[in-house]
Amino acid sequence: MMSLKENLMVKMKEAMKSKDTVALESLRAIKSEILLAQTKSGASEELNEAEEIALLQKLVKQRKDSAAIYLTQNRKDLAEPELAQVDVISRFLPEQMSADDLKKLVAEIIETVGATSMKDMGKVMGIAAAKLAGKADGKAISAAIKEILG
């Protein structure tokens, strides 16, 4: 299996050949984040899969947040490139869970933990976030927990 970095280099070459500027910009942003993360860790060691997923999710969230701000300001022209980058970056993330599957898993976690009210939200969220890393975003997990416990 190709590492994220290797896969990224292949996709960058393809984007350059096809002159896909949105993809190229997105891929360069990922590469830049990887290099920053490796520099922070103080070594040139490769990131593990969990770190890669977290890094990709952060990039997607940043772009979604920016797009949301632009849309509230009626700047569709600025929001569209952000959302286009979200599509490109999301391709490197594991497939997202369906809402039904997410609810089932959250319900199992709640049962296992013995959570009974919203007071247990933090405990459930911690376990769910770790178990579902990359398969569901925090907002979706939180919403599912609130729906079941609320």
Residues 128 and 109 in one domain: yes
pLDDT band at 118 (very low <50, low <70, confident <90, very high): confident
The mean pLDDT value for 68-90 works out to 95
Residues 6+ apart with CB under 8 A from 122: none
pLDDT band at 5 (very low <50, low <70, confident <90, very high): confident
What is the span of the domain harbouring residue 131? 99-149
Residues 70 and 38 in one domain: yes
**DSSP codes joined into one string, 50-76:** HHHHHHHHHHHHHHHHHHHHHHHTT-H
Total number of domains in the chain: 2
User: Is the pLDDT at 12 greater than 70, yes or no?
Assistant: yes
Calpha distance 64→70 (Å, rounded): 10
Residues 19 and 83 in one domain: yes
Residues 125 and 74 in one domain: no
End-to-end Cα separation, the chain, in angstroms = 42
Residues 10 and 84 in one domain: yes
Say which CATH number the domain at 9 has.
Answer: 1.10.1510.10
Q: Which helix (H) or strand (E) holds 24?
A: helix 21-40
What integer pLDDT is reported at residue 4 of this predicted model? 86
The mean pLDDT value for 97-108 works out to 89
Last residue of a domain, one of 90, 118, 136: 90
The predicted model scores a pTM of 0.75
What integer pLDDT is reported at residue 39 of this predicted model? 83
Q: Which two tokens stand for residue 34?
A: 């990887």
Residues 6+ apart with CB under 8 A from 91: none
Residues 86 and 132 in one domain: no
User: Is the pLDDT at 10 greater than 90, yes or no?
Assistant: yes
